[in-house]
């Protein structure tokens, strides 16, 4: 895994020939419950060469490798950088219903699109018409940057994604802007799951954030499925319940 100080160097190479860079990542794709959330961060060469990135940028890393306190502290600093106009950031989410409708990959692309739409006017993307989530090649090509902007997405290329992008495998451990996007997404989703823990107690959402820990799986077998559980992810687990007719969450259990 690259050292943290190399994240900024990676982006400085990727921004060559462009006026700005957008890094994007998602969290929650493998969870059993809750939304999938994507974060997008726009940076410029001026930012990458500036004081914050050179002095404090070394604290940024893949959100999974940071503590909750470290992520929250960086979130606060990102807010300050946004207020100063040094970066632009946004997050988007796709609900459990949208995950069931589009499958997890389609919902992930939907969340990423919403994150991009929150900052694309800043990046000055122009579109001739509104494409569908699963738009044709011709429609996708109608999204063109008015200014020179490069989009970096963590992972493999996103087929049918309406924004031209460069896929970076393990990007959250290689790119500063992608890692910043992963932190935005992680903090936003963790806060959502804490709120959902209050609405649906007993599952421990505030602790495990909807991922398939042993504690979470035992709670699902014991209590059944809540409205924020992804049914397609739970079929084998719910088969362990003694009474299949009692799968749904009952308030007050």
Res. 222: pLDDT tops 70: yes
Res. 167: pLDDT tops 90: yes
pLDDT of residue 163: 86
User: What's the pLDDT band for 234 if we cut at 50, 70, 90?
Assistant: confident
pLDDT of residue 34: 98
Res. 109: pLDDT tops 80: yes
Cα→Cα distances 67→78, 85, 130, 158, 230, Å: 16, 27, 39, 29, 26
Q: What is the mean pLDDT of residues 224-233?
A: 92
Distance CA 140, CA 117 (A): 14
Contact of 157 with 148, CB cutoff 8 Å? no
Contact of 43 with 197, CB cutoff 8 Å? no
Distance CA 88, CA 109 (A): 20
| pLDDT tens, position by position, 19-54 | 999 999 999 999 999 999 999 999 999 999 999 999
pLDDT of residue 81: 98
pLDDT of residue 133: 45
**5-14 vs 176-199: helix crossing angle, rounded to 10:** 110
> What's this model's pTM, rounded to 2 decimal places?
0.85
Res. 141: pLDDT tops 90: no
Query: Which residue did the predictor score with more confidence, 14 or 137?
Result: 14
User: What's the pLDDT band for 137 if we cut at 50, 70, 90?
Assistant: very low
Contact of 219 with 203, CB cutoff 8 Å? yes
How many other C-beta atoms lie within 10 A of the C-beta of residue 214?
8
pLDDT of residue 127: 52
Res. 5: pLDDT tops 80: no
E-strand stretches of the chain: 20-27, 36-44, 88-94, 125-126, 144-145, 149-154, 166-168
- The CATH H-level (homologous superfamily) assignment of domain 5-195 is Ribonuclease H-like superfamily/Ribonuclease H (3.30.420.10)
User: What's the pLDDT band for 2 if we cut at 50, 70, 90?
Assistant: very low
pLDDT of residue 148: 77
Q: What is the mean pLDDT of residues 222-237?
A: 89
pLDDT of residue 253: 34
Q: Where are the domains of the chain?
A: 5-195, 196-241
Q: Specify the range with the lowest mean pLDDT, choosing from 10-14, 101-105, 123-127, 164-168.
A: 123-127
Count Cα neighbours of 31 within 13 Å in the Cβ-side half-sphere.
26
Res. 129: pLDDT tops 70: no
Query: Which residue did the predictor score with more confidence, 240 or 205?
Result: 205
Looking at every residue in the chain, the average pLDDT score rounds to 86
């Amino acid at each position: 895994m690259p050292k943290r100080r190399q994240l900024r160097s990676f982006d400085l190479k990727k921004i060559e020939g462009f006026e700005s860079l957008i890094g994007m990542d998602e969290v929650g794709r493998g969870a059993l419950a809750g939304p999938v959330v994507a974060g997008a961060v726009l940076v410029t060469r001026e930012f990458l060469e500036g004081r914050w990135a050179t002095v404090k940028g070394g604290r940024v890393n893949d959100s999974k490798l940071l503590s909750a306190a470290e992520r929250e502290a960086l979130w606060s600093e990102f807010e300050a950088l946004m207020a100063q106009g040094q970066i632009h950031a946004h997050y988007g989410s796709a609900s459990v219903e949208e995950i069931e409708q589009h499958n997890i990959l389609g919902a992930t692309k939907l969340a990423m699109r919403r994150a991009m739409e929150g900052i694309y006017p800043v990046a000055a993307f122009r579109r001739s018409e509104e494409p569908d989530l699963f738009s044709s090649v011709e429609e996708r090509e109608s999204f063109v940057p008015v200014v020179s902007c490069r989009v970096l997405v963590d992972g493999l290329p996103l087929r049918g994604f309406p924004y031209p992008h460069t896929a970076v495998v393990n990007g959250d451990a290689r790119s500063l802007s992608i890692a910043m996007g992963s932190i935005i997404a992680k903090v936003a989703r963790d806060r959502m799951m804490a709120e959902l823990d209050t609405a649906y107690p007993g599952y421990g959402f505030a602790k495990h954030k909807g991922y398939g820990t042993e504690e979470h799986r035992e709670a699902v077998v014991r209590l059944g499925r809540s409205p924020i559980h992804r049914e397609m992810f739970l079929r084998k687990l719910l088969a362990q319940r003694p009474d299949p007719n009692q799968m749904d969450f009952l308030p007050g259990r």
